[in-house]
Amino acid sequence: MKIVVVALPGSGKTTIMNFVKQRLPDVKVVNYGDVMFEIAKQRFGVQHRDEMRKKIPVEEYRKIQEEAAEYIASLPGDVLIDTHASIKIGGGYYPGLPDRIISKLKPDVILLLEYDPKDILERRKKDPERFRDVESEEEVEMQQQANRLFAFAAANAGESTVHVLSFRGRPQNRPFEHSETAADYIVNLILRSRQKS
């Protein structure tokens, strides 16, 4: 089973993937941006992932996207793909899973995670390793809406199902509660798929 997990930067996707790996160590977790970064680093000398969308021309960005998709699609077994439904480039939103990419990946499920914008902004403040733009709650919400539209468009092109897991209005009662809930959801999807095989 291939599951594409999409959410805004700062949503905690890496933490979610780590929880899944603890429960299902044989699942491959691939960060789409990391695969792209390795290609971009060799070709364009970018120093960090957040520099890619600012320094690489869109045409070259597209080529890198395709190379990454071909590599990820070739991975056998159950694969979790950590990526974004939309990427902010040049003041607009660029599709993270355009038709030419999603048709190469052919995921079974696109899992869209949504959060209260203030929660995303708080998480971003705690991640000093990244070089993210400072955004308002309104800008975060606008991109979440773009993500939803892009996720459904990608599912149509990839003939995938979309699952929306919303944590809006759901405060955490303990640290990582949202991440654990999302990980449980993913583990259950994979286990159900294995039972059918």
Per-residue model confidence as pLDDT tens for the chain (197 residues): 999 999 998 898 999 999 999 999 999 999 998 999 999 999 888 888 878 877 888 889 889 999 999 999 999 999 999 999 998 877 889 898 999 999 999 999 999 999 999 999 988 887 666 555 678 899 999 999 999 999 999 999 999 999 999 999 999 999 999 999 999 999 999 999 999 98
Place of tokens 């991440």: 179
Euclidean distance between CA atoms 84 and 111, whole angstroms:
11
**Helix, strand, or coil here: 135?**
coil
pTM value is 0.88
> Across-strand partners of 6?
83, 112
* Token couple for 116: 């209260």
Place of tokens 């990391």: 34
Q: What is the pLDDT of residue 74?
A: 96
Q: What is the pLDDT of residue 128?
A: 62
Q: What is the pLDDT of residue 55?
A: 83
Say what angle helices 58-73 and 32-44 make with each other, to 10 degrees.
130
- Give just the sign of the alpha carbon dihedral 112, 117, 123, 126: positive
Q: What is the pLDDT of residue 115?
A: 96
* Token couple for 168: 């809006």
Place of tokens 């400072």: 134
Q: What is the pLDDT of residue 70?
A: 96
User: Length of the chain, please?
Assistant: 197
